[in-house]
Amino acid sequence: MSDTFERFAPFVRDFIYRNGWSELRDIQTESAKVIFDSRDNLLLTTPTASGKTEAAFFPIITDIWENPPESFGVLYIAPLKSLINDQFARMEDMIRESGIPVYHFHGDVAQSHKAKAIKNPAGIIQITPESLESMLINRPNDIVRLFCGLRYVVIDELHVLMGSSRGSQILCQLARIRRLTGNDARRIGLSATVGDVETACKWLGMGSGRATICPSVPRTKLKWKLGMEQFYMGSGEPRR
């Protein structure tokens, strides 16, 4: 394992061992360098199943575990409830030994779970743009308490959001949170299909006052495995 591995929190290293990974992927190493060693925003544009989520969250959760924020430390925004539900299960597995809470927050989540998040804001909140808008409108007096210690905003499926009305809504929401809390959280964008990286970097960093880094890493070659099965149908020649 690389030196980067040693910088991760113990529960992150346990997660890596538990999943049988013998080494970190290039994107995970490069992302950790940006998050640990700079104050820049980060854009990850590698293909599906390339380890983008882990690349972003391994150093992020290490940071908020070592120095717990006074509110939600990570705001994860995704366009689909199903994606949030999937990532919630993945995140629970990743941080289950850390003591860091993770909440998913959208229209299909039980009210008791959302009330717990509002009462004790900490760790990670995963939310849709619409539910975040509702929170900003209906709980204006709680915003400072909820986000005063916010350090990271992770925007998933960036290609779906940038250039759309929902994407503009998110940028406005982040500007409102920043204005109310005085907190300038770093932004992490995740996407498998960004066409114009420069445009995506500009969109992600808009209004943040930070540069945006998009690590260039070699694309992992796909390995195909072919198999052949032989079946006998009674007498005669085998059929394949």
Distance CA 120, CA 224 (A): 47
Q: Domain containing 9: what range?
A: 3-213
**In a domain? residue 224:** no
Residue holding tokens 């945006």?
212
Residue 225's contacts (CB-CB under 8 Å, 6 or more residues apart) are none
Beta-carbon neighbour count of residue 7 at 10 Å?
A: 16
pLDDT of residue 48: 76
The residues, any chain, with a CB within 8 Å of residue 68's CB and separated by 6 or more, are 122
Write out the two tokens for 158.
Answer: 């960036």
Q: How far is CA 63 from the centre of its chain?
A: 14
Query: Is residue 80 one of the residues assigned to a domain?
Result: yes
* Domain count for the chain: 1
215 C-beta neighbours (distance < 10 Å), count? 17
Does 237 map to a domain?
no
For residue 235, the 8-state DSSP code is S
Please, how many CA atoms are within 13 Å of residue 208, restricted to the half-sphere of its CB? 23
SS3 26: helix
The pLDDT, as a whole number, for residue 229 is 65
CATH value at residue 71: 3.40.50.300
Tell me if 35 is assigned to some domain.
yes
Query: Residue 73 in 3-state DSSP?
Result: strand
Q: What is the pLDDT of residue 96?
A: 86
Asked whether residue 14 is domain-assigned, the answer is: yes
Q: What is the DSSP string of 105-162?
A: ESTTS-HHHHHHHHHS--EEEEE-HHHHHHHHHH-GGGHHHHHTT--EEEE-SHHHHT
Residue 233 token pair: 């149908």
**168: burial class by Cβ within 10 Å (0-12, 13-18, 19+)?**
middle
| C-beta of residue 110 within 8 angstroms of C-beta of residue 104 | no
**Residue 41 falls inside a structural domain:** yes
Query: pLDDT (tens digit, 0 to 9) for every residue of the chain, 240 residues total?
Result: 578 999 999 999 999 999 999 889 999 999 999 999 999 999 999 877 778 999 999 999 999 999 999 999 999 999 999 999 999 998 998 998 899 999 999 999 999 999 999 999 999 999 999 999 999 999 999 999 999 999 999 999 999 999 899 999 999 999 999 999 999 999 999 998 887 899 999 999 999 999 999 998 765 554 555 666 666 666 655 555
227 assigned to some structural domain:
no
Asked whether 15 and 52 are in contact (CB, 8 A), the reply is no
Distances (CA, A) of 188 to 97, 205, 221: 24, 9, 25
Residue 222, in any domain of the structure: no
